[in-house]
Structure 1
Amino acid sequence: MKRTFGIVIILSTLFITALSGCNEISSTPQLVSKAEGVFSESLAHDESSEAKEAKTEFYIGETAELDKVQTTLIDVTESTGSEYNQPNEGNVFVLCEFEICNNSDTEIAVSSMLSFEAYCDDYTCSGSFSALLEKGDKNQLDGTVAAGKKFTGVVGYEVPEDWKELEIRYTPDYWNGNDIVFIANK
């Protein structure tokens, strides 16, 4: 009973912190830089300045900026689990590593449960605590990032082993309603 109460308190605190978010509002994410990713081979996108301003999807290695917060999907890796932690039959764990650089004047909250939603081949998929057990020495993507600081962490999902595309929507500021969409292709 005490454990359940503790979890409720932690989740409530994370929720309230996530809602406080950034105060500045920007209309759309902007492309900051571009690099080739491990899973994504579809990086042949238009590089014109007009395309950068209107860009709505970002791929592995690309950095999006929204409200002075830069977010990069660094890497996407698959795992079949370990001896005592395995995905359901026909599934794999997918670990998505992000770097968040807070260039704003205020601290921001990042919650893998509240700030991220994902779709695998257009079907919704929830974050997986089992997948996070396979993150190794990497951080889970939950916490706060002080102004001028960076944070690197992992969110995990359990998806069918024959998945083709994973779409991850990151909402840095819940009240603002703007998302940054990252795409990973197998």
Structure 2
Amino acid sequence: MAKQIKDENGNVYVQKKKFYKRWWFWLLVVLVVVFFGSGALGGSSDSSNSSDSAAKSQTSSKKKAEVNPLNKVYSVGQKASYKGYEIKVNSVKFSQGSEYNRPDSGKQFVIINITITNHTDESQDYNPFDFKLNADGNNTDLDAIDTDVDNTLDAGSLDKGASVSGNLVGEAKTSAKKLQLQYKTSFWNDNTVKFKLK
């Protein structure tokens, strides 16, 4: 309760308690001490937990790096899955074409049969121009025309769970020692999934 004081002229003044003598001030002090005290105690255990979780995340990131499809070169017959988009090279054939349609001099047709499966929850587009033929480090489009090849892969869209198979036809030097099919995962980056063809 506030104390009342009368001066010599009869004026009444109310003398208020100083703020540090009020009950709400001490309640606030106790709450602040408890909050920071538990934070300091919890902080040390959190820091040990955070170091444990950091070690776990490093281990899991190492595991992810090991299974990251961008870090591996797949063989014919193996399936590569990138964010639910699965690609498999079924077969690779080489051809000199026919009497009406031949590859450029010193080259051969490379016919790659692939299957694409959509394991995502959304419709996914596919396009043969997302694939490149890499011959000894030289990337070329798979847009060659071999009239003897049926079922060439066209662009389209796959619903959830759907798949499509088709042939990609490119040209490479017959002397090429290393052949790869490379799938570019996005227009916006240079990430590729690689398949060893030769």
- Structure 1 segment 109-124 matched on structure 2, within 5 A: 109-113=125-129, 115-124=130-139
Q: Extract unaligned runs of 5+ from structure 1.
A: 1-48
- The CA deviation string for residues 67-124 of structure 1, in whole angstroms up to 9 with x for no partner, is 11111111110111112111122211001111111011111111112x1122101122
- Structure 1 segment 27-176 matched on structure 2, within 5 A: 53-54=67-68, 55-113=71-129, 115-131=130-146, 133-136=147-150, 138-175=151-188
Q: Does structure 1 residue 180 correspond to structure 2 residue 189?
A: no
User: Structure 2 vs 1, CA of residues 67 and 169 (structure 1 numbering), >3 Å: closer, same or farther?
Assistant: same
Identity of aligned residues (%): 22
Task: Provide the rounded CA distance (Å) in 2 between the counterparts of 1:67 and 1:90.
Answer: 38
Helix, strand or coil: the match of 1:129? coil
User: Structure 2 vs 1, CA of residues 177 and 163 (structure 1 numbering), >3 Å: closer, same or farther?
Assistant: closer
Higher share of residues assigned helix: 2
Is the contact made by 2:152 and 2:168 (CA closer than 8 Å) also made in structure 1? no
Is the contact made by 2:113 and 2:167 (CA closer than 8 Å) also made in structure 1? yes
**Taking CA–CA contacts closer than 8 Å with sequence separation of 6 or more, which of the two structures ends up with the larger relative contact order?**
1
Is the contact made by 2:116 and 2:164 (CA closer than 8 Å) also made in structure 1? yes
RMSD over aligned CA atoms reads 2.2
Counterpart amino acid of 1:170? Answer: Y
Q: Extract unaligned runs of 5+ from structure 2.
A: 1-62
Is the contact made by 2:123 and 2:158 (CA closer than 8 Å) also made in structure 1? yes
Counterpart amino acid of 1:84? Answer: Y
Task: Provide the rounded CA distance (Å) in 1 between the counterparts of 2:140 and 2:67.
Answer: 29
Counterpart amino acid of 1:168? Answer: L
Question: Which protein has the larger Cα radius of gyration, Structure 1 or Structure 2?
Answer: 2
TM-score of the aligned structures, taking structure 1 as reference length: 0.64
Task: Provide the rounded CA distance (Å) in 1 between the counterparts of 2:176 and 2:154.
Answer: 23
State the aligned residue count. 134
Is the contact made by 2:131 and 2:141 (CA closer than 8 Å) also made in structure 1? no
